[in-house]
Amino acid sequence: MAYPINIREKTITMRKQGFSLNEIHTKTGVAKGTLSVWLRDVELSDGARSKLLGKIKKGQYISAENKKEKTKKIFQKYLEEGRKEIDDVDIDKGLARIICSLIYWCEGAKSEKTGIAFTNSDPQLVRTFLAMLRSGFDVDERKFSVCVHLHSYHNPGKQLEFWSKTANIPLERFIKPYQKKNTGKRIKENYQGCITIKYYNNDLARRVLMLGKATISKLGA
């Protein structure tokens, strides 16, 4: 498409003033491909270049935020689908054992010599593991022992209460927390510390480990 010479001159003037290609296209109606050819050799003043760079950075920021929001909606959609799918699953004692064993195979101690030893910092995963352990196996609550690993910026009393409620294990089953030094330069926001849950029963540890091994061996065959 041929454009009048005054239109081309207008686009060059706008470019020198620091307008972006999108802005020039919107105001003049000239195709972006044509503008790219017309304006590729236009020299910009420092002021115009700074103005244009600011718009580009703003545009990149807006684009990144839009992409982030789009991705968030996709995750939310899949989360809702997942919740509906899991609602239709009947988690009986056998399935609870399998779920427990798979979690433990991934996150638990691989030696049975001190019984069950599960360490994690994710409260939801801790709750899920314990729920499946209690549902799938005959558990004696008196055999639990808990140690919480904290940073120096944590309030021990508050964190012990948090993990006691999360794990549904009374505070008298907790030993003295281990609190490591922190430089203060890096504080993990919403980090509740790390919990090690021990259940003193070597035979149960063997059962859980071997069920986990049997499950991944069968599914991965």
Specify whether 104 is located in the same domain as 25: no
Specify whether 61 is located in the same domain as 130: no
d(CA 77, CA 10): 47
Q: For residue range 178-216, what is the model confidence (pLDDT) as tens digits?
A: 888 766 556 677 889 999 999 999 999 999 999 999 999
Q: For residue range 158-185, what is the model confidence (pLDDT) as tens digits?
A: 999 999 999 999 999 999 998 887 665 5
d(CA 40, CA 36): 6
- The amino acid at residue 159 is Q
- Whether 73 is covered by a domain: the verdict is no
Q: Are 118 and 204 within 8 A, CB to CB?
A: no
Specify whether 137 is located in the same domain as 35: no
Query: Comparing 98 with 154, which gets the higher pLDDT?
Result: 98
Mean pLDDT of the chain: 89
Specify whether 19 is located in the same domain as 121: no
Q: For residue range 91-118, what is the model confidence (pLDDT) as tens digits?
A: 999 999 999 999 999 999 988 788 999 9
- Whether 76 is covered by a domain: the verdict is no
Query: Comparing 58 with 185, which gets the higher pLDDT?
Result: 58
Specify whether 210 is located in the same domain as 142: yes
- Whether 87 is covered by a domain: the verdict is no
Sign of the torsion formed by the C-alpha atoms of 60, 186, 127 and 204: positive
Whether the per-residue pLDDT at 44 is higher than 90: the answer is no
Boundaries of domain holding 205: 93-219
The total domain count for the chain is 2
- Whether 72 is covered by a domain: the verdict is no
Q: What is the mean pLDDT of residues 125-133?
A: 97
Q: Are 126 and 119 within 8 A, CB to CB?
A: no
Specify whether 188 is located in the same domain as 134: yes
Q: Are 196 and 119 within 8 A, CB to CB?
A: yes
Specify whether 55 is located in the same domain as 147: no
User: Which residues fall within 8 angstroms of residue 129, CB to CB, at 6 or more apart?
Assistant: 100, 103, 104, 107, 118, 120
